[in-house]
Structures are given as structure tokens and as C-alpha cells.
Amino acid sequence: MEYTYLGRTGLKVSKLCLGTMNFGPYTSEEESIKIMNRALEHGINFFDTANVYGWEKGVGVTEGIIGRWLAEDKSRRDKIVLATKVYGKMGDGPNDQKLSAYHIRKACEDSLKRLQTDHIDLYQMHHIDRNTPWEEIYQAMEQLVQEGKVIYVGSSNFAAWNIAEAQMIAKQRNFLGLVSEQSIYNLRNRNIELEVIPACKRFGLGLIPWSPLGGGILCGILEKVKEGRRTREPLHKSAEKLKPQIEAYENLCKEIGMRPADVALTWVMNNPVVTSPIIGPRTIEQLDENVKTLGLKLNEDVLNKLDEIWPGPGSQAPEAYAW
């Protein structure tokens, strides 16, 4: 396994992050435990989850699975960098969601109980809360850090100006502020190249891309359809809309002798600002295949062809559109 620093921190994380969103809804607890054990065997030390995963309001299904796995062998906790998130609706009360200090405190306590641990290594704000001032958010986060319940604070799905504002206010408070941003990023969706990636680079945030395989679009979906394998209806509809691009992409992958999923994951990891893309395997076999991409490279000719098939903005803002 390869390791890298999480943004400007001294914390080292694996170059692949184990995403756990499938644990519970799509992957049984038994299989989820096997996947986490195999991840450790591969040297993956970065695990990502969220209190809303499992999609049963207020239950925290996925965090519960991870917590039972950690409780089964206490030594596992010090082998991983554990990341979870706060923001989502966890109850029917008016303060059971978003980023008020009130909700952050309670959500953190509840996550700690479900995860069966005394601290969260990376506590991420799942979305921006436009109605809560940064002074309140940081007051809550600073308290959690002082109590040893949270080590680092990160963001997810933030705009570049949200990141800039957060870092400016953190500096005023002599607080470390954000150390990472988790954004959607893949060949099909390159929007963050405009401003979020430059912001991460400028402010020293580790970039943790989610959906690096485009939700399945970049995994050889047309070939799977030909073979008669089932695909989810929304994914099938997206594939129909993007069929010319996907055909060109899958043909290129055949030409260079690489699986489409491997090309997509390797492309994301080729970006020097990227820390660890999140992989969300539903099976051990998928995890093993993802790990095989480490160390793979794409030459300049292939990268240029990928740009032609899946064009990005071409540059960062404002150059991408101003001149």
C-alpha cells in the first residue's frame, strides 16, 4: 500500500479510502466485516462513513456495523483513520440536522456511541449550512477537539468560496480549520477542476474524491449490458444518454488493455492534488480489483484521448471561460 499526507497535516493515510456507504443497504454485515478485514490486510488505513448511511433515519446503520467490527477486536481502532460526517437528518425534531452547535454536539456523541470509540479522527461537515455562522460551527468543533472527541475537521460538497471563508475564519480563531474536502470527481464529472481543486491546493486541503467510477458509468457498463448482467434502472438510463462517449471510452480501454474501472480510478489518482479516492466495494472481489490499480499510470497519449472523450473545463477559473 502507498501512503500520503492528508493535506497539510502530518497524518498519513492510504492512497485508497474505504467507503462504507454500501454497508447495510447493499452489503450484509457479515460481508461488510470481511471487506474491512481484507482492507486492513491490503494496508488500507483510511475508512470513511457518515451518520446517515444505511438510510434509516436516526439509526446510523453503517456506523453501527463499523462499531461492532471495532468492538470485536480493540486493536483495530488504532490501525485506521476513521472519518464520519455530520449534517444529515437524524430525527424528526427541528434541530436534528445541519450544523448548529446544538446538533453537532449531539450528532458527535451519537456517532461515537454507534462507532464504539472515544474519538473520531476526521469529522466532516457533509454539506454547507448557509443558515449557521462559522463562529458557531467552529465553537462546537473546537470544543470537540479540546475534549479529544475529534482530531481533525473536514468538509464535503463545499464550494471553493465556502472553503476560503472557512479557512479565513479559522485563522482568525487560531484554529487549524479544514484539512480535507470530499467532492464528487471522476472523468464524467470534472466540475471541481474550475475552483474547488485550486482552492484545496491553495489552502492545503486533502482532496478525497467520491464516486471516482461515476456511479458505475465508468465500469464497462455497455459490456455488462451485452453480457446480460443486470444494472440499476437510473444507471441504465444514464448509460443510454451517454452511449457515444461510453462506447469511445470502453473501446479505448480495450485498446490499452485495461479494465474501464481501472482506467477511471487511475485517472483520478493521477491528479497530484488528490489524496485518496473513495472506493465503495460491495464485495471482497471488487475491493481486490480496486487495490490492483495502485501504481498504474496512464501515458500522455491516453490522457489526451480521455480528455477528448470526457472533456473537462480545460483550465481553472477564470481562465476556463474568461480568456
DSSP, res 122 = E
The single-letter code of the amino acid at 301 is: D
User: What phi, psi does 111 have (nearest 5°)?
Assistant: -65, -40
- Sheet of 17-19: strands edge to edge? 206-210, 178-184, 150-156, 120-125, 81-86, 46-48, 17-19, 278-279
DSSP string, 26-38: TB-HHHHHHHHHH
Supply the DSSP string of 101-119, one letter for each residue. Answer: HHHHHHHHHHHHHHHTSS-
Helical (H) or strand (E) element with 3: strand 3-5
Q: 3-class SS at 187?
A: coil
Alpha-helical (H) ranges within 125-195 are: 134-146, 160-172
Cα–Cα distance list, 230 to 179, 223, 226, 246 (Å): 39, 11, 10, 17
- Hunting for cell 471487506 — which residue is that? 35
List the beta bridge partners of residue 178: 153
Of the candidates 53, 87, 123, 185, the residue annotated as catalytic is 53
Residue with the three cell numbers 484539512: 179
Q: CB within 8 A of 13, min separation 6: which ones?
A: 3, 4, 5, 6, 45, 46, 81, 206, 275, 276
Mark whether 5 is an active-site residue: no
CA dist 217 and 260 (Å) reads 9
10 Å CB burial of residue 76 (0-12, 13-18, 19+) is middle
Indicate which residues carry an active-site annotation. Answer: 53
